[in-house]
Amino acid sequence: MAQVTRQPVVMSKAEPLLLGFPSPLSRQFRQIFHFCPCRQMDPDPLIDHLMVDFSLTPSDPSTLILNGIPGLEASHIWISIPFSMFFAIGLLGNFMLLFVVSKEQTLHKPMYLLLWMMALTDIATSTAVVPKELCVFWFNLKGITVGGCLTQMVFLHAVSIMQSVILVAMAFDRYVAICNPLRYTTILTNARIAKLGLLSLIRAVLFILPLPLLLRRQPFCANLIIPHTYCEHMAVVKISCGKVTVNRMYSLLITFVVLGLDLMLIALSYGLILRAVLRISSKKAHEKAFNTCTALICVMMMSYPPFFFSTLTHTFGQGIAPHIHIILANLYFLLPKMLNRIIYGVKNKKLHEKVVKCTSRM
């Protein structure tokens, strides 16, 4: 009788963990986790079914990479110094305005409540961008989950639309105060300002919510690097391998229709204000009216042009260097948030007096 020689069984390090399982289950684990390199893993119908249910594709990543400012990686530390200074000064000014308006009963009026809402949105946008940005610059922590990226994108764009509504309300507030001052207290009340804030939030969410839903259905390429410091919509769209025509068109629709309509309403308000002011013969009244509107015009000039520039550059500005575009996009979230409070503090004497009074008490 021939002697049978038994060959030793060569196992991978993880194979012993499966010896206690029944044979079919052990075979299934080997297929899923590639324990047998010589066998091609067959697609699991359960996993495919779950991917279809959740509108995912097998190429969907779990982590994306925020690359910072392309071409200036060696200068990230130096770039972070002015960025962090702008962020700190902006936070200090905005929190000071929130504190002063909340504490002083004489400032509980529509104009100051709108400033309070604007300061709140400024804090929200800057804190959603800058801390993660500084983690990229200082600690090279570039990873961000897909869910976190989409959440940041929705939050930033929704708050930007809310700010646009607040600027429209501030322009209308100045129109009523100058052109129809006797009815100011009946037209603009604190309750109506609160309802306006709620409506602006609902409007922003309804317009921005399709963006992550459209992106979630897109397959991502093997290159998961986002050449940006935060999850800007078009920057995320560019790393998708699917058809993104709908995403691009919807982004342009929001830019030109939604924000363009707000800008037209603001221009209409100031056109009516200008017409009313020119009809006044008093030079002192002219100066008072123009001083009242100057602050808001400065805020508008710092808000709308950078936003339109950033959006249009992604679509039409292929000749613009990426690092210039990204630096300007970051300054859009930093400089207006810092300078808005300085402008209002200088132009609005009553607010300036209250700020000085509160700081002197500390």
Where is mean pLDDT largest: 25-34, 131-140, 307-316? 131-140
* Whether pLDDT at 25 is above 80: no
The three-state DSSP-derived secondary structure of 165-228 is: HHHHHHHHHHHHHHHCHHHHHHHCCHHHHHHHHHHHHHHHHHHHCHHHHHHHCCCECCCCEECC
In which band, very low, low, confident or very high, does the pLDDT at 305 lie, cut at 50, 70 and 90? confident
DSSP 8-class letter at 259: I
> What are the DSSP calls for 287-352, one per residue?
HHHHHHHHHHHHHHHHHHHHHHHHHHHHHH-TTS-HHHHHHHHHHHHHHHHHHHHHHHHHH-HHHH
**What span, in angstroms and rounded, lies between the C-alpha atoms of 174 and 179?**
8
Residue 262 near residue 162 (C-beta atoms within 8 A): no
Mean pLDDT across 320-326: 86
> Residue 207: which region, alpha, beta or left (left: phi > 0; alpha: psi -120 to 50)?
alpha
pLDDT tens readout for residues 144-185: 998 899 999 999 999 999 999 999 999 999 899 888 889 999
pLDDT for 354 equals 84
pLDDT tens readout for residues 126-154: 999 999 999 999 999 999 998 899 999 99
**What span, in angstroms and rounded, lies between the C-alpha atoms of 111 and 169?**
9
pLDDT for 36 equals 39
Residue 227 near residue 70 (C-beta atoms within 8 A): yes
pLDDT tens readout for residues 325-360: 899 888 888 888 888 877 877 777 788 888 888 888
Q: Which residue has the higher pLDDT, 318 or 243?
A: 243
* Whether pLDDT at 20 is above 70: no
**Longest CA pairwise span in the chain (Å):** 125
